Each structure stands twice: as C-alpha cells, then as structure tokens.
A and B are shown apart, each in its own frame.
Chain A
Amino acid sequence: MSAVIQVENLQKWFGTRKILDGINFEVREGETLVIMGGSGCGKSTLLRTLVGLLQADEGKVLIFGEDMAHASEDKKNEIRKKFGMLFQGAALFNSLTVGENVALPLKEHTSLDEEIIRIIVKVKLELVGLTGFESLKPYQISGGMKKRVALARAIALDPKIVFYDEPGAGLDPITARVIDHLLMDLTKKLRMTSVVVTHEMNSAFRIADRMIMLHQGKVVGSGSPQEIKESKDPYVQQFVRGEINGPISFKETKEHYLKSIFGGDVGL
C-alpha cells in the first residue's frame, strides 16, 4: 500500500513555544489512522497544519506527493479539493439549509447542472442516513445529525482522504458510536483514507487500523491498536489506561511552584 500522506520533520511554534517538535509519520492508502494524545499534546495543531489552516514553520506535509506546507494559496486550494474535513462542531453554515450545505462544494468547484447537484446531494445524504432532511436548517436538527450532514458535505466531491477532528466530541455515547460506525462504513465502502484526531480511547481502538500517539509535540508511540495496547512505553501505557500517576504529569513540580512565588534566586 502506498502512502497518501507523508509528514516529515514537521515543526510549529506559537511564539517561543514549540507545539510540534519534529513529527514524522505516514498515512497509507485506505487505512484509518488515529492520532491520539491528551489535551495540549499538539494533536489539534497537527491536524490544522495538515490541512493548511496553520502554516508549518519547518518540515513537509506531502498530500498525494504535493507539499501542503510550502504551496501557494492557489495550490493549497487545489490540494484541498482532494480531501474533506469533519470539524468538531460540524461547522455547518447556519444561513444555508442542510441540502445547500452539502451542495456548496459542488457549486463552488464544479460546473455541474443544478439538477445533477440536487441528485448528488440526495445520494450523499442517503449515505449518512439522512434522506429527506434537505430543506431543514442546521439549528433544527440534533448534534449527531449535524455531524452526519457535515460528513455528507465533507464527502461531496468524492475525496480520497477525510480528516476528522474529534468525531465524538459533544455527543452522547450512543450517537458517538453511530458516527464511528458511519466513519468505518464509509471509509471501507468508498475506499477512502481516514485520519482521525481524538482523545477518546474506546472510539480510537474501535476505528483504528493504525494509531500514533503524541505527547508534547512528539510522536511517542505508533502501531496497530494491539501494539499500542501492549506497548511498554510508559507514556503510552499511562494514556491508554487513563492513570493519573505516570510520566505525563498534570502538575508543575514543587520547584516550579516555589520559583514562581519567590523568583529564581531561592536557594533550594
């Protein structure tokens, strides 16, 4: 299987803080890759850099062999037509109906007739199980349905890759599962490649063909779900089991605390 996305030595700073610290990985055609990690590990920044919402400071993001990180804005928009993205909050356009939301990429990027677009919208909505919802506005449907509409919109142009930002966020466990199933189902049926960013372990193990784990802007573990489960790496273990004590600390050290109160010159 060939790689559709290759990330090489990706680095990103926010001011003086290094958020992504030399990330390397690849995504193979047809697989579902889950990127996981705790809050603030850099996974959202990684995703936003992959799709070109943030500019990488160093390194390459090759999508179908074309470097997203160093492309002109026009070139980026060309590459963007080949993938879809599902946002955490669905990000549907509230002024448009469900049908118009799904139709938008088709209207913008193709010269298809209105009638053909109308048919495509119907087919896509059926794929996500929402036949007959075309004329509703986003505020009239539930959170889970919004995500499904957003998914229909993401696959409107038959992309080969779909990025998912926390697909289960803000949903009840059952609805989150429905979205997971839909994701797996569509990835297989439509022969797409999926890249999923999440911190939900259950969901991650359910959908992943392969996973990578981030901590402080670095890849600390990668492999199949089985390999991740059995990993000896202390970071990975702590995260998989959801333990409080371990190498990932949630508190600053005592030294830090005293330093912040008394300044740097306290003799400790």
Chain B
Amino acid sequence: MEFVSPEGLRLDGRRPRELRRINCQLDVLSNADGSAIFEMGNTKVLAAVFGPHAVTRRSELREEGALVVCEYSMAAFSTGERRRRGKGDRRSTELSMVIRNTLEQAVITELLPRSQIDVYVQVLQADGGTRCAAINAAVLALAAAGVPLRDLVAGCAAGYLDGTALLDLNYTEDSGGGPDLCVALAPRLDSLYLVQMDNRLPVDTFQAVMELAREGCRTISGVMRAALLEHTQRLAVARGITAAV
C-alpha cells in the first residue's frame, strides 16, 4: 500500500507534516469537576476529572503528594469493527498506566498532599492516536478542574512510512507496519513526559521523527491553550467578572 503519493500527499489528503483538524470542548459534563472532549480528525476522546478529594482507599494515601487514579475505556461503537471490549482488558490497563504516569508528572502533586484525583478517559471514536488524544483530553479536563499543572502537556504521535516522517498517524497509517512514536511533551519546560515507540528505526531517522513529534506537541499545546483561554474568558463573562470582549 502506498502511504505517500508521488505528489507528497497522504491517504487522507494531508501533507506529511500536517496535523488533523483539532477541536476542544471544555466542561461538557455537569457532574464532573472538570471535563473535556478532545477531537483530532475522526478520533474523539472524552475525559472527566473528579477531585482533588479525600483518598478512597486508605492504604494508597500518600503524605507527600496527591494520588492520581486513571481509567481508560473504549466505547463498544468506537472502533471500525465492533468489539465488546469494555473495561479491564490488557490494552486498557496498559493505557491507563501510561496516562496515569504522564499525568502524575504533569500535576504539581506536592501541592495536594493526602488527596486523590480521579481521571476517567472514555474513547468515543477511535481512528489512530487514541493514546495521545487521551492524554490531551485528560490534561484539558485537569486544567478545567483547576488542578495545578506544571505545564500544558500535550501528546502527539509520529511515524515513518514510505521513507517519509509522518505526523499524527490515522488508523490506516498506524496499522501500516511502520514505526510509531508516541510522545508527551511539556513545551515550556521542554521535557518529555512520555516516549513510547514500537518497531525498529535507525537512530538518525529516529531523531527526525522525534523532532517532528515534538513540533506536533508544541502546536497541539498551543491550540489547547487557546481553547482554555477562550473557555475561561467565556466563564468570566458569564459570571460577570469581566465585560464581554
């Protein structure tokens, strides 16, 4: 299969270094303390944050910082072929751990000792890059919940197919057999909170792909920041703190 046409266009018409259309919605659920929907092309992920609240299981209480609990689940209708996957299968458990690990680094946990923050991620539509979209949705939901964050961490995937480094793979490209690199970056601190790669990749190509993914993270973080600012502004107007712009 040809992933990049001779004209330099990908299967969905994008350029190799082009992201899909991003859409962020904040505070979409009324019950959660913070929630967000992060959309990237056909991938759509919902995240809800509850807390910080008292630790539910005493044995997990941490004196030095907050405990971050994460659960990732996929809706039965989210994938192309229907699969009853629910919660608790191996892939979901692994992803829960990956997201939890990333978020624990992003949250300034030492400000919230002896407390717990629940993050629930629900994939509504899956079309490649759910790992990164899940992180982005979770970060937005945390920000909406007012949890102190070190930086607006953003995740982005990049791959290497047909001798070209490709940004933000969709499902067809993801299952194309090439290497797939998933990165979460704190853009202002310039530190990588998550690096995951499958398949083999020469070191010099790896650097190119890595640089591309980081660039993607910075762009996504910018879009997320703009969405958050707009949302906060709308909230401020609604509560009569500032006049409408």
Tell me, yes or no, whether A binds B.
no
Interface of A with B (CB < 8 Å)? none
